[in-house]
Amino acid sequence: MTILVTGGAGYIGSHCVRQLIAAGQKVCVIDNLSRGHREAVPPQASFFQIDLLDTEQLTDIMKSQRIEKVIHFAALAYVGESVENPLPYYSNNTAGTISLLRAMRQSRVSQIVFSSSCATYGIPASIPVTEDSPQTPINPYGWSKLFIEQMLIDCAHSYPNFGFIGLRYFNVAGCTHDGALGEDHNPETHLIPNCLKTALGQQSQMTILGNDYPTADGTCIRDYIHVDDICAAHLLALDALTPEAQRFYNIGLGHGYSVLEVIKTAERVTGCEIPIEYHPRRPGDPPVLAASNEKISRELGWSPRYTSLEEIIRSAWNWFQTHPHGYEHKTGSHTGNEPKDHS
């Protein structure tokens, strides 16, 4: 079986490609490298630098590579940027997926695992969030993902043998434990990488947006899930994918950690003091956000392997110590291409 992975040079996509290869799958990666990294793609995978909106070339690749199933990661994913400049999000994420689905139809590929997001839920009315919780996005990024979910449902109703599984995950964190693959965003907006960049002296302090929430320490609580656990869920979904599948699953630990807990844990892992400056709340941030993972546990047998916040942060610290400026300016001997299984 040959699996097409869109966005396979990105953070989560590259980790998933590595697990697929370790599992013995043939993998074809497409990525326009606008935010991905060619160095993150293992040499065992076929690689094509193309844009999702190029339907004709997508179709040619699917036919020539004899693609059987698709894992779709490719997306712009900065919430704040989507608010400031929404059109690229609808163009790349939503219209890009239309192009992908057209290419699948023309190539007679009918099964897809879709990388969705908890952003489709907006501000949840209750915690933990279940798959049946109302979906009311509060930003264009969340809407772009929810529109795709609806397209998948409509395709499954209209096209024979079209099957999909959508995975809505929460705060993805960590890196491969050997430090070979990691998180390299520009700009970096995620909490844990910014903590580690502060520990490395690349920025002077951490900014906490709000310390007056109704939580134990006044800071927001979020559900952090290790990237390798996310990818393991994609492999299980791939195995469960059938022409009749129409499923959505949440991926998370099932509980959260506060912003202050994350920073204090990062201090223990790195042995460095991380200065803090408090700023006012950011509009729209819920006090607590955590997933119910009961459905995917019951139906697919998935459970998170990495449940310790310290272990998650330590895996990221391994990466940032050897790659303090990302893939292009690494130190040490890691190449980012070693095909080892750390799923």
pLDDT in tens, 127-161: 999 999 999 999 999 999 999 999 999 999 999 99
Tokens at 221, concatenated: 């609580």
- Told to judge if 89 belongs to the known catalytic residues of this protein, a careful annotator would answer no
The pLDDT score that the predictor gives to residue 328 is 76
Catalytic residue chosen out of the listed positions 11, 89, 121, 141: 141
| pLDDT tier at 6, thresholds 50, 70, 90 | very high
The average pLDDT across 227-255 equals: 97
CA distance 147 to 106: 22
Domains and CATH numbers, the chain: 2-329 (3.40.50.720)
Q: Are strands 163-169 and 2-6 parallel, antiparallel or unpaired?
A: unpaired
| pLDDT tier at 94, thresholds 50, 70, 90 | very high
Report CA torsion sign: 232, 64, 33, 99: negative
Q: Are strands 257-258 and 221-222 parallel, antiparallel or unpaired?
A: antiparallel
Rounded to two decimals, what is the model's pTM? 0.93
Give yes or no for residue 337 having a pLDDT over 90.
no
CA distance 224 to 278: 22
pLDDT in tens, 160-196: 999 999 999 999 999 998 888 999 998 888 999 999 9
Interhelix angle for 309-322 vs 191-199, to 10°? 50
| pLDDT tier at 237, thresholds 50, 70, 90 | very high
